A and B are shown apart, each in its own frame.
Chain A
Amino acid sequence: MQSEDIPRLENPRTDKIQLDSVAIRFCGDSGDGMQLTGGQFTNTTAVFGNDFATFPDFPAEIRAPKGTTFGVSNFQLQFSKNEIFTPGDKINALVAMNPAGLKTNIDDVEAGGIIIVNGDEFSKVNLTKCGYPKNYNPIDDPSIQTAYQIFNVPMSRITRESLVSFGLGSRDTDRCRNMFALGIVYWLYDRPLDTTIEWLNKYFGGKKGNPQLAEINIKALKAGYFFGETAELFPVRYQVPAAKHTPGLYRRVSGNHALALGLATVASKAGKQVLYAGYPITPASELMHTAANLKHFGVKTFQAEDEIAAVCAAIGASFAGDLAVTATSGPGLALKMEAIGLAVMMELPLVVIDVQRAGPSTGLPTKTEQADLLQAMFGRPGESPCIVIAPQSPADCFDMLIEAFRLAIRHMCPVILLSDGHIANGAEPWKIPNLDAIAPIEIQHARSEDYADKEFHPYTRDTSTLARPWAIPGTPGLEHRLGGLEKDATKGTVSYDPDNHDRMVRLRAQKIERAATAIPHLEVRGPSEGDVLLLGWGGTYGAIRSAGDQLRQQGVQVSTAHLRYLNPMPSNTAEVLRSFRRVLIPELNQGQLLQIIRAKYLIDAIGINETRGKMFMVDTLVQRTLSIIQSETTRAEQGQEVGIGSSAS
Chain B
Amino acid sequence: MIKPLEVKYTPKDFSTDQDVRWCPGCGDYAVLAAVRKALPELQTRREDTVFVSGIGCAARFPYYMNTYGMHSIHGRAPAFATGIKLANPDLQVWVVSGDGDLLSIGGNHTIHAMRRNLDINIVLLNNRIYGLTKGQYSPTSEFGKRTKSTPMGSVDYPIHPLNTAVAAGATFIARCVDKEVNLLTEIMQRAAEHKGLSFIEVLQDCNVFNHQAWAYASEKGQKEDSTLQLEHGKPLVFGADRNKGIRSHNGRLEIVSLEGGEIEDDLLVHDETDRTLAYSLAQLERPDFPEPLGVLYCNQDREPYEQLVWSQMDHARERAGEPDLMKLFTDTETWRVD
Measured CB to CB, the residues of A under 8 A from B are 43, 46-49, 195, 199, 245-252, 261, 264-265, 267-268, 273, 275, 277, 294-298, 300, 302, 304-306, 308-310, 312-322, 324, 338-339, 342, 346, 432-433, 435, 472-485, 493-494
Contacts and interface: CB of A to CB of B under 8 A. Distances in A.
| Of B46, B62, B82, B91, most A-chain CB atoms within 10 Å | B82
A482 B79 contact: no
A275 B84 CA distance: 10
A483 B70 contact: yes
A313 B325 contact: no
Interface in B266-309: 309
A483 B71 contact: yes
The 10 closest A-B pairs by CB, nearest first: A316-B83, A483-B71, A313-B83, A312-B79, A295-B316, A320-B87, A316-B80, A317-B83, A296-B320, A481-B69
Given A305-B108, A435-B326, 18 more contacts: A46-B333, A195-B333, A245-B337, A277-B83, A302-B82, A308-B79, A316-B79, A316-B83, A321-B87, A339-B73, A432-B330, A472-B88, A473-B50, A474-B91, A481-B65, A481-B70, A482-B70, A483-B63
Interface of B: 16, 18, 45-52, 55, 62-63, 65-73, 76, 79-84, 86-88, 90-91, 108-109, 111-112, 309, 312-313, 316-317, 319-321, 323, 325-326, 328-330, 332-338
B68 to A, nearest CB: 4
Contacts of B333: 43, 46-47, 195, 199, 251-252
B76 A339 contact: yes
Contact of B328 (A297, A308, A317): A297
Contact of B76 (A298, A300, A308, A432): A308
Contacts of B68: 319, 473, 479-481
Given A251-B332, A479-B66, A306 B108 contact: yes
A182 to B, nearest CB: 15
A305 B330 CA distance: 34
Contacts of A313: 79-80, 82-83, 86
Contact of B329 (A246, A261, A479): A261
Contact of A305 (B88, B112, B309, B329): B112
Nearest to A40: B333
A250 B79 contact: no
A316 B88 contact: no
| Of A43, A199, A316, A342, most B-chain CB atoms within 10 Å | A316
Nearest to A243: B337
Given A249-B334, A250-B336, A268 B325 contact: yes
A534 to B, nearest CB: 30
Contacts of B79: 304-305, 308-310, 312-313, 316
A304 B62 CA distance: 24
B72 A302 contact: no
A473 B87 CA distance: 10
A317 B50 CA distance: 12
A298 to B, nearest CB: 7
B70 A322 contact: no
Contact of B82 (A199, A296, A316): A316
A279 to B, nearest CB: 11
Nearest to B111: A305
Contacts of A249: 330, 334-336
Nearest to B328: A264
Contacts of B48: 473-474
A56 to B, nearest CB: 16
Contacts of A472: 88
A419 to B, nearest CB: 19
B87 A273 contact: yes
Given A309-B108, A320-B91, A478 B47 contact: yes
A614 B335 CA distance: 30
A174 B46 CA distance: 66
B335 A250 contact: yes
B323 A342 contact: no
A275 B335 CA distance: 32
Given A295-B316, A474-B47, A250 B334 contact: yes
Contacts of B320: 296
18 contacts: A47-B335, A247-B338, A249-B330, A261-B329, A296-B323, A298-B323, A304-B82, A305-B79, A312-B80, A312-B83, A316-B82, A324-B87, A342-B72, A474-B88, A483-B63, A483-B70, A484-B71, A484-B72
| Of A47, A339, A475, A481, most B-chain CB atoms within 10 Å | A481
Contacts of B338: 247
Nearest to A272: B87
A302 B87 CA distance: 11
Contacts of B18: 493-494
A297 B317 CA distance: 8
B175 to A, nearest CB: 25
Nearest to B76: A312
Contact of A342 (B62, B73, B330): B73
B109 A251 contact: no
B304 to A, nearest CB: 14
Contacts of B83: 275, 277, 302, 312-320, 322, 324
| Of B16, B48, B71, most A-chain CB atoms within 10 Å | B71
A484 B66 CA distance: 18
Nearest to A314: B83
Contact of A473 (B84, B86, B108, B330): B84
A294 B321 CA distance: 12
Contacts of A317: 83-84, 86-87
A264 B323 CA distance: 9
A249 B88 CA distance: 38
A49 B66 CA distance: 62
Contacts of A245: 337
A321 B91 CA distance: 12
A475 B91 CA distance: 11
Given A319-B70, A473-B47, A481-B70, A296 B317 contact: yes
B336 A248 contact: yes
| Of A49, A248, A319, A472, most B-chain CB atoms within 10 Å | A319
Contacts of B330: 249, 251, 432
Given A249-B334, A302-B86, A316 B81 contact: yes
